Amino acid sequence: MECVAVTDVGRMRENNEDAFDAIPEKEFYVVCDGMGGHASGQVASRIAVENIRRYVTDLYRHPGPEYSFPNPPTATAPERLVSNAIQWANERVFIESMKERQYEGMGTTLVAMMGVGRHLVLGHVGDSRIYRYRQGVLEQVTRDHSLLNHYIDLGKIRTDDEAKSFKETNVIVRAVGLKDYVEPTVRMVERMAGDLYLLCSDGLSDQVSDAVVADLLSKSPSLDASCRKLVDLANLAGGKDNCTVMLVRVLPGAFDDEEALPKTIRREVPTKRPSPVTDFDDEERTAPSLPAITDEMIDDDDDGPIGGDTEPELPQIHLPSAAGSKMSGPPSSRRRVDDDDDEEKTDPNRQALPFQPDEE
C-alpha cells in the first residue's frame, strides 16, 4: 500500500478542522472532519485521530478475547478491532467535551480503513466518505449517516425527485463524540492489486462530483498530483469547507499468490457496554485486551455491513512518516443543529443531530 494525503483550509474558513493519520505498519488510515463552536471541531478531530492511533498501536498489544464495546456476534476479529477503535475514540471525545464548557457538543465525522491480508476493513461515522477506483470505475463504498438516507430507509422519501428537493442535505444523524456511545458502520471488502481508495471529508464530496473525480483519477497516475488537483477543484468550486484528500493504492503484485483464503474462525466473544463516563477516572481507564488478527480470522465471503486568483501552495504530506497535525485558530463556523439559541454555535451549512431520530 502507498499513501499520499493533502489537507487545505479552503476559501471560506479561517481554521482547518480536518485531521488525518496513517499507521503504515498496521495498514491503518483515518480521516476526520470536526464540528463544533469555539474551535472545538479541530479539537474533536484531533482527539479522535490521536486515540484511534493509540488504540490500534499501544492498546492493541496483548492477545485476548475481551472487547470493551459491543460487537455483533457474527463480526470478524478485524471488524471488531476497527469498530472498537472508533468507539474508543468516540468515548475519548465525549469525555473531553464534558470537561470544558467551550467544548460542549463538539464532534467529528470519521472514516477509517485497515488492511488485513487480501481484505480491507472499512469503518465510518457521519458523512466523510471512502471511494474505490477499480478498473476505471469509481464507487462510493460507504453510505452517509445523513438525515436524507435515514428518511429513505424509513420510506419517507421514495423517489429521486423527492431526494433532490430535500433541503436538509447537510444534516447528519451520527457523529463521533456527541454521546457516550456511537455505533459505527463497519464492513469488510476484498482488495485487488491496483485498487485506489479515496478517503475524504465532505469538503471534497460536496464540491466535486463523482464523475469529475473519476475522470481525474483516470488521467493522473501520480497520487501526489491527484491529491493536489482534487483539492484545487474543491477550491475552484467555491472552497466552502476544509478539504482533506487521502489516496491509498494497493501496489501491483501485492497479491500474486492465488491460493484461496481459509474461512473465518468464528467464536463468541464476550462484550460489555462501556460504563458511564462518571463511573471512572479518565486516567485510570484500563485498555481493552484484543485478539491478534491473522488471515485465518477472515471470512472470504463476508462483505456486508455490521452496524458527498492564484491558488496558495497546498500542504503536502507524504505518508507513512506524517501524522495529523495539531491546529489552532479562531472559532469554528461548523455547529450542531440543536444550538440555534446560541449565535456562537449556529451554522446553517453544517448540522448534526445529537440523537438518533425516532423511526416514526
Model confidence pLDDT, tens digit, residues 261-319:
333 323 333 333 333 333 333 443 334 444 444 445 444 444 444 444 444 444 444 44
CATH class held by domain 2-280+294-352: alpha beta
Distance separating alpha carbons of residues 194 and 133, to the nearest angstrom: 9
Q: What is the reported pTM? A: 0.72
Distance separating alpha carbons of residues 348 and 255, to the nearest angstrom: 47
User: In the prediction, which pLDDT does 264 show?
Assistant: 35
**Is residue 348 very low, low, confident or very high in pLDDT (cuts 50, 70, 90)?**
very low
Range name among 14-18, 79-83, 141-145, 150-154 with the lowest pLDDT average? 150-154
Say if residue 76's pLDDT is above 80.
Answer: yes
User: In the prediction, which pLDDT does 161 show?
Assistant: 77
Q: Which residues of 321-354 are buried (b: 16+ CB within 10 A; e: fewer)?
A: ebbbeebeeebbbbbbbbbeeeeebbbeebbbbe
> Which residue would you say has higher pLDDT here, 113 or 171?
113
> Are the CB atoms for 111 and 144 separated by under 8 Å?
no
Task: Dig out the grid coordinates for 5 from the structure.
Answer: 494525503
Q: Delimit the domains of the chain by residue range.
A: 2-280+294-352
DSSP E strand boundaries for 230-338: 243-249, 316-319
Q: Are strands 351-352 and 171-172 parallel, antiparallel or unpaired?
A: parallel
User: In the prediction, which pLDDT does 158 show?
Assistant: 76
Q: What is the mean pLDDT of residues 335-347?
A: 40
Q: What is the mean pLDDT of residues 66-70?
A: 75
Say if residue 38's pLDDT is above 60.
Answer: yes
User: In the prediction, which pLDDT does 147 show?
Assistant: 81
48 C-beta neighbours (distance < 10 Å), count: 32
Q: Which residue has the cell 491527484?
A: 226
User: In the prediction, which pLDDT does 33 show?
Assistant: 95
Q: What is the mean pLDDT of residues 323-349?
A: 38
Q: Which residue has the cell 487545505?
A: 8
Say if residue 250's pLDDT is above 90.
Answer: yes
Paired with 146 in beta bridges are 172
156 C-beta neighbours (distance < 10 Å), count: 11
| DSSP at 180 | S
User: In the prediction, which pLDDT does 221 show?
Assistant: 77
Distance separating alpha carbons of residues 49 and 176, to the nearest angstrom: 11
> Are the CB atoms for 181 and 297 separated by under 8 Å?
no
User: In the prediction, which pLDDT does 98 show?
Assistant: 92
**Is residue 150 very low, low, confident or very high in pLDDT (cuts 50, 70, 90)?**
confident
Q: What is the mean pLDDT of residues 2-15?
A: 93
Q: Rounded mean pLDDT of the chain?
A: 76
40: closest CA among 303, 347, 260, 271? 347
- What kind and span of H or E run contains 154? helix 147-154
Q: What is the mean pLDDT of residues 231-248?
A: 95
User: In the prediction, which pLDDT does 266 show?
Assistant: 30
Q: Is 60 exposed, middle or buried (0-12, 13-18, 19+ CB in 10 A)?
A: buried
Distance separating alpha carbons of residues 19 and 108, to the nearest angstrom: 10
> Which residue would you say has higher pLDDT here, 252 or 101?
101
